[in-house]
Amino acid sequence: MNSSYIVAKFGGTSVADFSAMSRCAQIIKNNDQVRLVVVSASAGVTNHLVALCLNDITDEQRTTHIKQVVDIQYSILEDISLDADLATGFEHTLSEFKFVAIQQVFSEQQKDELLSFGERFSSYLFTQVLRRLNIKATRLDARDILKTNSQFSKAVPDINATKTAAEKYLLPLLTSQVVVTQGFIGSNEFNETTTLGRGGSDYSAALFAEAVEASSIHIWTDVVGIFSTDPRLCIKAKPIAKLSFDEAAEMATFGAKVLHPATILPASRAGISVFVGSSRAPEQGGTWIEKEKSQHSGIRAVTQRKNQILLTLKSPEMLLASGFLAKVFSILAKYNISVDLITTSEISVALTLDNAPNTSRPELEQACLDELTKFCHVSVENNLTLIALIGSQIQLQQHEINLMQVLADFNIRLICHGASKHNLCFLVEQSQSDSIVQKIHSQLLEA
C-alpha cells in the first residue's frame, strides 16, 4: 500500500531566486503531506555548467561562467543566513566547485561531477528558506539514494538499489520532517556522480516517489499544467485538466518540455498520480495525470522536438536480406543512441535521433558513423523538427482531410503512424516547424 507522502519537485524557475523559493516554501507549508522535496538548479545555472564542460572556451569565458554561477547563489544568500549545519556543507561545496570548474574537464565522469553543483547548491539554500517558515527541514544528498549505472550524462537508474537505499536512509527521516534533496543527480556503484540528462529532475522526483511508495508527485513549474501545445508558441493553447499515463508519456517523449520524457515510467509502474502546476499560481490548479484510460478519443495536443537528426542508411545488401537492421541497431546500441522514428524501404532505413542542445555530449558520435559507413551508405541531415499529434485512438481517416490540407504547404520529410494509437509523427524543416504547429493547433485544437 502506498504511503500518504507526497513528493514535490520544483523546477529551475521555481527556485530561481529568493522570492520564487519563498513561494514554493509556502506551497509546502500549506500541505503537510509533502515530505520529500526535489529541487532543480536555479534557472540558468545548469547552462553555465554545461558551458564549463566545453573545452573550447577561453579562460575569460570560464571565469565569467564561474562568476555567474556563484553570483546566483550569493544573490539568494542576501536574504537568508544559513544555519551552521547547512553553512558548513554549502561552503565546502562552493570551494569544491571553484576547484573543479577552473580546470578543463575531459572525462564524462568529471563532466557529470561538474554538472551536479547546481542542484547541490540550490538544495542547501532551499532547506534554509523552508526553515524560515518554521518548517522542520533537513537536506539529504540524492547521490546516497538514487543509484544508477555508469552511463554518464544519461545514467540509467537502478530501481532496486535505489529502493533499498531509500528504505534504509530516507524513509526513517520522512516521519518527522521535510527532506530536501536534489533532482537530476545520482551515483553509480563506485559512488561517482552521475546525471540523468537535461531536465532530469522530474524523472528524479518520480524515481524517489516510487522508492518511498508516495501517494502522488507534484511537479511545480512555470505553467499552470500541461497544455494542448507549448503556451509560449500558441496563446490559445489550453491547459488539459486530466491526462492518462499513456497520453502524458507520449507528450513528454515527443517534446512537451514541461515533463522529462521518462517521468511517467516510474509513476505508472507504481500507480502514482502526477500533478503539474505553477508555483507562481498554485491556486489555479493544473493537470492531473492518472492511470485511468482516457475518455477522450482523437487528437488532444501537438508537440514538437527540434534539433532532430535524420540518418538514412542505404545498402543494396538489404534487398531480401535479413540481419541488416540487427547490425544497424547493435551499433546504435553500442553508442547508447536511442532512435525515435523509423521507416524502411527495400534497400534503406531512415531513423531519427535527438540532438538536444546544451548537453555535455553529442548524441551522434563520429566513431558511430565510421562504424556504420563500413557496411552501408550513410547520410545525415540536420535542422529538422519532429512534430507529434498526441491523443487516444488516433485514426488517420478521422483527421485525414484536415491534416493533409494543413500540411499541404509544407515539405514533410517522414511520417510515422501505427505503432501506437496515441501518436502520429512527422519530420519537417526546423525553420517551418513553429508555424506548422501553430497552424495545426488553430485548425485541429481550437475548434
What ranges in 292-426 are assigned the alpha helix state H?
324-334, 366-373, 396-407
The residue from 132, 257, 280, 306 that contacts ligand ADP (CB under 6 A) is 257
- Answer yes or no whether residue 394 interacts with ligand ADP by CB under 6 A: no
Count of C-beta atoms within a 10 Å radius of residue 368: 18
Give the three-class secondary structure for 342.
strand
The residue from 5, 13, 46, 332 that contacts ligand ADP (CB under 6 A) is 13
- The span from the CA of 177 to the CA of 372, in Å, is 54
23 labelled binding-site residue: no
- The span from the CA of 218 to the CA of 143, in Å, is 21
The residue from 230, 340, 354, 371 that contacts ligand ADP (CB under 6 A) is 230
The residue from 157, 186, 200, 239 that contacts ligand ASP (CB under 6 A) is 200
- Answer yes or no whether residue 236 interacts with ligand ADP by CB under 6 A: no
DSSP string, 241-262: SEEEHHHHHHHHHTT-TTS-TT
Binding mask 130-169 for ligand ASP (x = CB under 6 A): ----------------------------------------
34 labelled binding-site residue: no
Task: Write out the binding residues for Mg ion, residues 179-208 only, by CB under 5 A.
Answer: 199
φ, ψ of residue 278 in degrees (nearest 5): -100, 130
Residue the block writes with cell 524560515: 132
Q: Taking the mean position of all CA atoms in its chain, how far away is CA 33?
A: 25
291 labelled binding-site residue: no
Asked if residue 49 lies in contact with residue 100, where contact means CB atoms within 8 angstroms, the answer is: no
Closer Cβ to ligand ASP, 50 or 414, answer by number = 50
- Answer yes or no whether residue 211 interacts with ligand ADP by CB under 6 A: no
DSSP string, 409-423: TS-EEEEEESS-TTE
Q: Which three cell numbers stand for residue 35?
A: 515530505
Closer Cβ to ligand ASP, 357 or 418, answer by number = 357
- Answer yes or no whether residue 199 interacts with ligand ADP by CB under 6 A: yes
The residue from 188, 229, 268, 385 that contacts ligand ADP (CB under 6 A) is 229
Residue nearest to Mg ion (CB): 199
12 labelled binding-site residue: yes
361 labelled binding-site residue: no
221 labelled binding-site residue: yes
Task: Write out the binding residues for ligand ADP, residues 332-371 only, by CB under 6 A.
Answer: none
What ranges in 54-83 are assigned the alpha helix state H?
59-77
Residue type, 79: D
Number of residues that bind ligand ASP (CB under 6 A): 12
- Answer yes or no whether residue 266 interacts with Mg ion by CB under 5 A: no
| Enclosing H/E stretch for 172 | helix 171-174
Residue 46 binds which entry of ligand ADP, Mg ion, ligand ASP, none, CB below 5-8 Å type-dependent: ligand ASP
Please list, residue by residue across 344-353, b when 16 or more beta carbons sit within 10 angstroms of its beta carbon and e when fewer do. Answer: eeebbbbbbb
168 labelled binding-site residue: no
Task: Write out the binding residues for ligand ASP, residues 107-126 only, by CB under 6 A.
Answer: 118
Residue type, 157: P
119 labelled binding-site residue: yes
Residue the block writes with cell 524523472: 203
Single out the residue of 288, 233, 283, 280 nearest to residue 256, CA to CA.
233
- The span from the CA of 47 to the CA of 45, in Å, is 5
11 labelled binding-site residue: yes
Residues in contact with ligand ASP by CB under 6 A are 11-12, 40-41, 46, 118, 183-184, 198-201
Q: Residues marked as binding for substrate?
A: 46, 119
Residues in contact with ligand ADP by CB under 6 A are 11-14, 40, 199, 221-223, 226-227, 229-232, 256-258, 301
Q: Residues marked as binding for ATP?
A: 9-12, 221-222, 232, 257-258
